[in-house]
Amino acid sequence: MAPRELHTVLSTVAWEQPEIDVLRELCQPAEFIQCKADDKASIQNALKSANIAILASDIESYMLDAPRLAWIHCDHAGLNKSARPEVLENSFVVTSSAGRSAPVLAQHGFFFAMALAYDTRSLLERQTERAWEKGREDFRLRGALWGRKLGILGYGNTAQEMAKLGHAFGMHVTVLRRKKPKMERETPIDVDIMLSDEEGATVEALLDCDVIMIACSLTDRTHHLFGAKEFTRMKPSSVIINMGRGPIVDEEALLHALTTGQIAGAGLDVFEVEPLPKKSQLWDLPNVYITPHSTPGMPNRTGRSIEIISENIRRFKAGKPMLNELHRDDVYTKKS
């Protein structure tokens, strides 16, 4: 990418005013236009001249006709709703704020793992009953996490934090990532086995793990990556935790696996349809923990977004590859 300048910047982020002022300062000497995210008329007017757009939401179809756009930043993590063919056919760069909440997302994944390992639901029931007797010996994972195998799908920001936690818990960590590392180097200390699609590895390599955590992006390639075939090959004592996107898992196949004992349990923060319908049987399963696509707030999360945007402004001006950039192989066209 050739070096470029910021001429006019459109922002729709709903931050506090001091944080918007920081963003405005970062964009100087460009003209800075702040609009509300739902003010389509003002946004359309700003897009007549803007060459940069920093959005609170995904890319809307009407934005694609903007004549000068060179870079769009979406201030959230997953770009699957923007990874449409008509977006990818444009010449502008698309980036996200992926990574700003990675540590707490990883901790959320381990909240699920610990709850399943210690059968928290049963413990709380006994506490309510003031029952002192010890619990069953057949905990979901049949014991603590130490010494267990952790399989992580993906190796972005959240997955890297998961690997660190898995290592700290004394787990054997296997990672399956999309691309092989750009430089030949030793496997990170937090990872015991590093595999990649690019080198021929498949999700099959994770299926003997005790805990499988999903932290990859949703693309046509990863849609329903975990289905009936994969669940039949997992251990009856294993659990799956989805912190990525719902459609990565075939929910019907997951329900069958959970109710027939193919796997021991699941921790789910994301679903094929959100909000999760009240009629979903997943709500009633004792071996499932559900959170509503919501993680406890990351301290200074907006500040972390600003750091990502600031670095990308520097890279944009220098004509260098940008953080969290959307690529053609990220395209997502499938529907659940």
Q: For 280-322, what is each residue's pLDDT tens digit?
A: 999 999 999 999 999 988 899 999 999 999 999 999 999 999 9
The DSSP element (H or E) to which 194 belongs, if any, is strand 193-196
The SS3 assignment for 31 reads strand
pLDDT higher at 157 or 140: 157
Give, rounded to a whole angstrom, the gap between the first and last alpha carbons of the chain: 36
DSSP 8-state code for residue 37: T
State residue 180's pLDDT score: 87
Q: Token pair for residue 296?
A: 């406890």
Domains of the chain: 8-99+299-330 (3.40.50.720), 101-290 (3.40.50.720)
Q: Please, are residues 120 and 183 in contact by the beta-carbon 8 Å criterion?
A: no
Encoded amino acid at 51, one letter:
N
State residue 3's pLDDT score: 72
Closest CA to 179 of 216, 147, 149: 216
Distance between CA atoms of residues 262 and 207, nearest Å: 12
In a 10 Å sphere around its CB, with 0-12 CB exposed, 13-18 middle and 19+ buried, how is residue 24 labelled?
middle
φ/ψ bin of 186: left (φ > 0), alpha (ψ from -120 to 50), beta (otherwise)? beta
Encoded amino acid at 140, one letter:
R
Residues annotated catalytic, as ranges: 245, 274, 293
Task: State how far Cα 290 lies from the chain centre.
Answer: 16
Vertex 106: Cα angle to 302 and 128 (nearest 5):
110
* pTM for the full predicted model: 0.94
Q: pLDDT-derived band of residue 144, with 50, 70 and 90 as boundaries?
A: confident
* % of the chain residues with pLDDT over 90: 88
* pLDDT exceeds 60 at position 139: no
Query: 238-254, pLDDT tens digit by residue?
Result: 999 999 999 999 999 99
Distance between CA atoms of residues 148 and 301, nearest Å: 32
Residue 188 preceded by cis peptide, ω within 30: no
Distance between CA atoms of residues 241 and 229, nearest Å: 17
Query: 15-69, pLDDT tens digit by residue?
Result: 999 999 999 999 999 999 999 999 999 999 999 999 999 999 999 999 999 999 9
Closest CA to 55 of 26, 41, 34, 70: 34
In a 10 Å sphere around its CB, with 0-12 CB exposed, 13-18 middle and 19+ buried, how is residue 335 labelled?
exposed
